[in-house]
Amino acid sequence: MSDILTDTYLRIRQRLKAGAGRLLSDAEAAEDALQDAFIRLWGRYDVRSEREAEALLTRTVKNVSIDQLRKWKTVPLDGDPPEENAGEERETKFRRVEKMVEQELTDMQRWIIHRHEYEGVTLEKIAGELGMQAPAVRMQLSRARKIIREQYRKRYHEE
């Protein structure tokens, strides 16, 4: 059963690493997150399909990456209280955006964002999966990003 997990891991490894890299902004940390996630899963789950393995791996890599962000703390150099870590700020922003994606976008926009941004699937492949033209998918992605950008600025007063 672990063969499905291993095969899926090897097949989508680059995409998982890209997702971890977007969260962690460090290639070594992203690689560590991949290895930690795989070790956590290997031999513990009875995975019956590639789709199930892919979802499990994607979620676990994301969670491990977030756990790593939480561990990174700044150490005060001159007795000052520690300032909030940039990684923590990034995680907060990420959570806000994630919540807006769930609340503000249509199912199609949410699916396109997930496939393109989290899984690294090309717009052309997404268009084929949806039976649409690539420019139409690009337009949906652009609209979704615009909605999130506008809502973020509106709610959190950032320019």
Measure the CA angle with vertex 128, ends 124 and 131; round to 5°.
Answer: 130
Distance CA 84, CA 74 (A): 7
Q: What is the dihedral of CA 74, 29, 62, 57, to 10 degrees?
A: -160
Tell me the helix, strand and coil percentages in the chain, rounded to 5.
75, 0, 25
Q: pTM for the whole thing?
A: 0.47
Q: Considering the domain delimited by 87-156, tell me its CATH architecture.
A: Orthogonal Bundle (1.10)
Topology given in CATH for the domain delimited by 2-71:
Rna Polymerase Sigma Factor; Chain: A (1.10.1740)
Per-residue pLDDT of the chain (159 residues; tens, 9 = 90+): 448 888 888 899 999 988 888 888 778 888 888 888 888 887 777 788 888 888 888 888 888 888 877 776 444 444 444 455 566 777 788 788 888 888 899 999 989 988 887 777 888 999 999 999 988 999 998 899 889 888 888 888 754
Check for a shared fold between 2-71 and 87-156: no
Q: CB of 80 within 8 A of CB of 37? A: no
Q: Domain map of the chain by residue range?
A: 2-71, 87-156
Number of neighbours of residue 34 by Cβ within 10 angstroms: 23
| 33 CB-contact burial (10 Å; exposed 0-12 / middle 13-18 / buried 19+) | buried
